[in-house]
Amino acid sequence: MRILISGAAGFIGSHLCDRFLAEGHEVVALDNLITGSYANLDTAGGHPRFRFYEHDITQPFDMDGPFDAVCHLASLASPKFYYAYPIATLESGSTGTRNMLEITRRDNARFLLTSTSECYGDPEVHPQVETYWGNVNPVGPRSCYDESKRYAEAMTMTYHRVYGLKSTIARIFNTYGPRMALDDGRVVPAFIDQALRGEPLTVYGDGSQTRSFCYVRDLVDGLVRLLMSEERYPVNLGNPAEMTILEFAHHVRDAVNPGLPIQFQPLPQDDPKRRRPDIGKARRILGWEPLVGLDEGMRDTVEYFRSRVVVAT
Ligand code: UDP
C-alpha cells in the first residue's frame, strides 16, 4: 500500500512508519515538527520507500497521491504542549482532520483517526466502554484537546455517512515507550527523567488518580489491525492494567533509583480521576490485546532515556 501519515515524526507516528515500512509498504510522512522530531525517523529516514515532508496539515496541501490509506496522527498530545499551543491543538483536530479526510475521499482510501481516551473526560463509567459518551468540561483548559478530538470523531463519522468513507477511529489510552519526548511533561518521561537525574518524583495531587499504560509496540499493532478492519465506530486501544499514579511512581523509583523522595504537587484542573480501557471490542473484532507487561516495556523505555538524559555532575 501507499500510505500517508500525518504526525509521522511524533512518538506513535514514527513507530507506525517503521511498522509499515517493515511490512513492505510505501510511506509518505508529514509533520510540522512543532512537537515531533526528525530524530524519531532515524530508522525510517533513509529508507527508499519513505518520503518526508515538513508540512502543517492545517494549511492547504495536495500531496502526491494516490494513497491507499491515510493515517491521521498529527496532534499535540501531552497536556503540557496542548496548554502551550491550545489554538494549534484545536486546529489540527478540526481543519487538519478535514484536510486529511479530503485527501482520503479524493483517493477512495482507508482512513485511520487516532482519537483519545480524553473523549471520556473525567469518566463516570469505569472501565470506559466505547458506548459511553463521556464527561468532558467543554470550557476547561483541557477542552482544546478533548473537544478537538471529539470534533474529529464527529467529522470522521460524518464523512463516512455522507461519502461512504472507509474510516476507522482508535481511542488511544496512555501509551509509553522509546521516542517519547523527554520534556513533554507526561508522567512516564517525567518520572524517568527525574529518577535518572536523582531528583524527587513529582506526583500531582495525592497520586490516587489512576491510569493504564500500554507499550507502544502493542498500540501500533492495534492501529494496523484497526485500519484494515471494517469497523466504523470508535475502538478503545490500551492496556487494561490499571494503577494509581503513586504506585507508578514507586514502580519507576524501584526500577531506576530506589530511595528517591516523592514530592506532592497540586493536581491540574479537570485531571481525570480514573482511566482504564474496556478492550472487549478490540479483542472481539480485531483479535487484539496487549502482550507487553509494564516491567518489560519500562525496561526498554528507561534504556532509551538513559542515553538521552544529561545528568549533572
Ligand atoms: N502526573 C504526575 N506528575 C507528573 C506528570 C503527570 O503526577 O510529573 C499525573 C497527571 O496529573 C495525571 C497522570 O499523571 O493524573 C497522567 O498524566 P499525563 O500527563 O501523562 O497524561 P494524561 O493521562 O493526564 O493525559
pLDDT of 213: 98
Q: Verify whether ligand 1 is closer than 6 Å to residue 186 (CB atom).
A: yes
Ligand 1 atom nearest to 194, measured from its CA: 8
CA distance 79 to 168: 25
Contact by Cβ (8 Å): 168, 229: yes
- In this model, does residue 189 exceed pLDDT 90? yes
Confidence of residue 312 (pLDDT cuts 50, 70, 90): low
Instruction: Tell me the pLDDT of the chain averaged across its residues.
Output: 96
**pLDDT for 205:** 98
- Sheet architecture: strand order including 69-72: 50-54, 26-31, 2-6, 69-72, 110-116, 166-172, 235-237
Q: What pLDDT is stored for residue 286 in this prediction?
A: 98
Per-residue pLDDT at 43: 95
Cell 459518551 maps to which residue?
Answer: 133
Q: How many angstroms does the Cα of residue 276 sit away from the middle of ligand 1?
A: 14
pLDDT of residue 223: 98
Q: Are 117 and 66 in contact (CB under 8 A)?
A: no
Does residue 268 have a cis bond before it (omega within 30 degrees)?
no
Q: Is 119 in the pocket of ligand 1 (CB under 6 A)?
A: no
- Of 114, 144, 187, the residue with max ligand 1 atoms within 8 A of its CB, to mutate for a pocket test, comes to 187
Question: What torsion do the CA atoms of 202, 204, 205, 211 make, to the nearest 10 degrees?
Answer: -120
pLDDT digits (tens, 9 = 90+) for 212-249: 999 999 999 999 999 999 999 999 999 999 999 999 99
Ligand 1 midpoint to CA 48 (Å):
39
Longest dimension (CA), the chain: 61
Per DSSP, the residues of 32-86 read: --SS--GGGGTTTTT-TTEEEEE--TTS----S---SEEEE--S--SHHHHHHSH
CATH class belonging to 2-176+214-237:
alpha beta
pLDDT tens digits for range 46-93: 999 999 999 999 998 887 889 999 999 999 999 999 999 999 999 999
Query: Which amino acid is residue 100, in one-letter code?
Result: M
Report CA-CA distances (Å) from 194 to 78, 88, 204, 259, 260: 18, 29, 14, 13, 9
Q: What is the mean pLDDT of residues 146-167?
A: 98
- CA-based radius of gyration for the chain: 19
pLDDT for position 272: 96
Q: Is 20 helix (H, G, I), strand (E, B) or coil?
A: helix
Task: Express each pLDDT in 21-44 by its tens digit.
Answer: 999 999 999 999 999 999 999 999
pLDDT at 311: 65
Of 129 and 312, more confident: 129
Instruction: List the grid coordinates of 273.
Output: 480521576
Alpha carbons 210 and 246: distance in angstroms, whole number: 9
Active site residues: 145
Region 292-297: mean pLDDT is 97
* Contact call for residues 41 and 107 (beta carbons, < 8 A): no
Name the pTM for this structure: 0.97
* 310, pLDDT greater than 80: no
Q: 245 near 188, Cβ under 8 Å?
A: no
- Tell how far the Cα of 187 is from the centroid of ligand 1, in angstroms: 5
The residue among 127, 31, 24 whose CA lies nearest residue 77 is 31
Q: Which atom of ligand 1 is nearest to the CA of 204?
A: 7
pLDDT confidence of residue 62:
82
Query: Where exactly are the structural domains of the chain?
Result: 2-176+214-237
199 lines ligand 1 (CB under 6 A): no
Q: What is the DSSP letter of 167?
A: E
Mean pLDDT to the nearest integer, 13-21: 98
In one letter, which amino acid is 283?
A: R
